[in-house]
């Protein structure tokens, strides 16, 4: 009996050691001190709560599976929330820059600068009034950077930036709430061909990404634009497409994505010690939509939170909206954004996916590098 108990104790100790080693390998928080997030409503966590804007999500039923509305444009977590949980193992979610509680030591673990309605181009999202476009988000990070340098010193701050994860998820609004905006788009498209408009986006984005590098970022994840022609809003806005995705909208996204991939390769080659990663969110989301049943979904084209429209895409999610009984069965939460269930799949493929999903390496590999 004594021998058996000794064996049980030994086995238990070995199991705990192996578990600790596995968790240490899975969780990269020790290697990655902070998570800095830039982007639009796909990754916003509440910055627009603090500005005068028509683009807000800090009301029910948003956040119904998060515990409360926070300013996240989904029923639960965003993609970056999940990445922070699953691969960085941070105890708390990366906080919004404008929240009054985002002060002191909490900033040393990262800040989220994303804003609903924001875009690469500064005039994107004018229809919402207030929004924080990418140039302004970079300005906000510059403020954070100076704060961190003042508090821990320049050498330690530059080491922190070098080892942190920087992610940028932006570009959809430059099409949806700029080039493709009804009335405005008619004039825009008449005088500005798609190639010229996309060229302006890429030119601006190059400057913004280089500025981020110049401020100390080295591990930089850039997500492309998803299949915007498949979101409920675009489907309802273009009834002639029938049950199909809107071809022209998707063609615009693919045109931008092609140029973006080339830009990322160029910056990776030119900027010393930079590790840029291109996340093919278009491919991942398109795969989910085309093969939704294999992922456990029952609906891939309509809003779970809906008010009007064949696909529930004509009115933003709000207190008067109806919601589907099982959010886990829908790809889309509202006219524009994925559900927590879809975000979890996207995040998982970015964390551990192959080169078809994310290249030249996935997030786990990016964060495991010694720089």
3 state SS of 44: coil
- Residue 249 falls in the annotated catalytic set: no
Active-site position among 236, 249, 337, 340: 337
Active-site position among 40, 41, 259, 357: 41
Q: What are phi and psi of 110, to 5 degrees?
A: 115, 165
Strands 219-223 and 275-279: parallel
User: What percent helix, strand, coil does the chain show, rounded to 5?
Assistant: 50, 10, 40
**Three-state secondary structure string covering 189-206:** HHHCCHHHHHHHHHHHHH
- Residue 123 falls in the annotated catalytic set: no
Cβ contacts of 299-302, under 8 Å, gap ≥ 24? 299/324, 299/329, 299/330, 299/331, 299/332, 300/331, 300/332, 301/230, 301/232, 301/235, 301/243, 301/331, 301/332, 302/232, 302/330, 302/332
Active-site position among 40, 334, 340, 357: 334
**Tokens standing for residue 315:** 């009115």
**Tokens standing for residue 267:** 């910056």
- Residue 174 falls in the annotated catalytic set: no
Handedness of CA 28, 120, 306, 331 (dihedral sign): negative
Unique residue bearing structure tokens 């058996």: 4
Annotated catalytic residues are: 41, 334, 337
């Amino acid at each position: 009996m004594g021998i058996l108990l000794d064996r049980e104790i030994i086995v238990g100790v070995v199991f705990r050691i192996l578990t600790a080693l596995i968790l240490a390998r899975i969780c990269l928080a020790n290697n990655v001190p902070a998570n800095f997030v830039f982007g639009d409503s796909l990754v916003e966590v509440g910055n627009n709560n603090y500005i005068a804007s028509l683009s807000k999500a800090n009301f029910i039923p948003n956040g119904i599976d998060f515990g409360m509305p926070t300013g996240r444009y989904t029923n639960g977590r965003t993609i970056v929330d999940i990445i922070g949980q699953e691969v960085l193992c941070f105890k708390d979610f990366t906080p919004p820059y404008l929240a009054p509680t985002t002060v002191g030591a909490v900033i040393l673990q990262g800040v989220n600068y994303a804003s609903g309605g924001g875009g690469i181009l500064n005039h994107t999202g004018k229809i919402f009034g207030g929004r924080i476009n990418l140039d302004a988000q970079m300005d906000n990070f510059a403020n954070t950077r100076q704060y961190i340098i003042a508090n821990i010193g320049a050498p330690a701050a530059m080491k922190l930036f070098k080892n942190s994860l920087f992610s940028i998820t932006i570009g959809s609004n430059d099409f949806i709430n700029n080039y493709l905006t009804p009335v405005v788009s008619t004039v825009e498209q008449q005088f500005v061909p798609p190639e010229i408009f996309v060229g302006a986006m890429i030119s601006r984005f190059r400057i913004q990404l280089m500025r981020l590098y110049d401020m100390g970022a080295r591990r930089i994840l850039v997500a492309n634009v998803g299949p915007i022609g498949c979101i409920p809003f675009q489907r309802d806005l273009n009834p002639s497409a029938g049950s199909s995705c809107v071809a022209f909208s998707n063609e615009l996204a693919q045109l931008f994505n092609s140029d973006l991939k080339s830009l990322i390769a160029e910056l990776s080659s030119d900027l010393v010690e930079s590790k840029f990663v291109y996340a093919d969110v278009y491919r991942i989301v398109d795969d989910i939509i085309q093969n939704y049943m294999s992922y456990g979904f029952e609906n891939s084209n309509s809003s779970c939170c809906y008010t009007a429209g064949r696909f529930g895409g004509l009115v933003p999610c709000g207190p008067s909206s109806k919601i589907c009984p099982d959010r886990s069965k829908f790809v889309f939460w509202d006219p524009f954004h994925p559900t927590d269930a879809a975000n979890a799949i996207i995040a998982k493929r970015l964390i551990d996916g192959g080169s078809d999903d994310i290249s030249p390496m996935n997030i786990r590999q990016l964060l495991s590098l010694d720089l």
